[in-house]
Structure 1
């Protein structure tokens, strides 16, 4: 997987039709999605339950590009191998989810996946300063994790800028998740983000039977950032 900092859009299937997730992934990719973002929630680390490795494995044949798995779970380590076996390209864990995040990131890489670390809105950028040589992706959350459709938290913008300065020349993606739409996307892109997770802003604009709405939504985000 070649690294590049071009703008990428990663629709979150949390906002898709759960009765047709395979078709939803195919439709989003056909309409221009760069990555597919899979939000895994356990009802413990976050106040919601979504799906686990079996669903990720079932979706892998329907995702031809990057499968980006965001683990909002605790503990993380016992499940890394299952998500790697399910076909994840990236596995992202929260820095707040356990006491040994350095070990978690090493385990993700050892399982053959790219390693990401996420920060909740109240967690400062400095929390990942000592992890930069162990990660392939940083994910500053722009909403509190657990539910889709929340309002964008503006204080993430200076945090993204700080993270981008910390990254320097390292081949690390900066991804933003939460409240991304054509009005907020330019703020995070200008600050240094290159992967934008969008849920309802994409899947709320169409359907499997009318996927052109997905393409229109993603083009609107790209054009706003340009």
Structure 2
């Protein structure tokens, strides 16, 4: 199992390795030494693939496969919390060995269930957790925490035309082919992503979000992907995804 966190121009703000110590930061060659100076483990990626996180993720999937790896966890670099909702006593945060053991357990469950992609709840407020639905097999899994079983993933890759919506798209690709993925609703993450510089913030703006939303809808159809119109004043940049598959 490899734990990989792509990062771009954020050497001074790395957080994920404090939660999952085996995290390896995946950075472009031009800034690799700046990251190494932070005392973290680094994998160098070619400079020419920068500027598109979907392309970066695909490079990492292919690189890992070439190394003979079969399971990788792709993470954001700003995760500050990984925890469980089901605990009734003590702290629900998982850190260090406990966190990595839980990740390994998730990979084993994913293997038993025969899924190529798994993820966790991106809502860290327990008020949003439905205790009678600890798992989800057709919902959205944020790319901030993607467990990939490479042998099962096969030829599926992140769509490089959708670098701001690549996680929605790959979930739909997997669901379209396999009719299932796995989201551990009882596990959650929290990120410190407000005001971040670097990363996708380098090319994200409202116009590009609109363009990416339109492209995602054109690709999958407005019965599967639609804009959340709950707010009449603001564009919700997170689409509503409803896979036409039975079950949870």
Same fold (TM over 0.5): no
Structure 1-normalised TM-score?
A: 0.28
The structure with more radius of gyration: 2
User: Which protein has the bigger helix share?
Assistant: 1
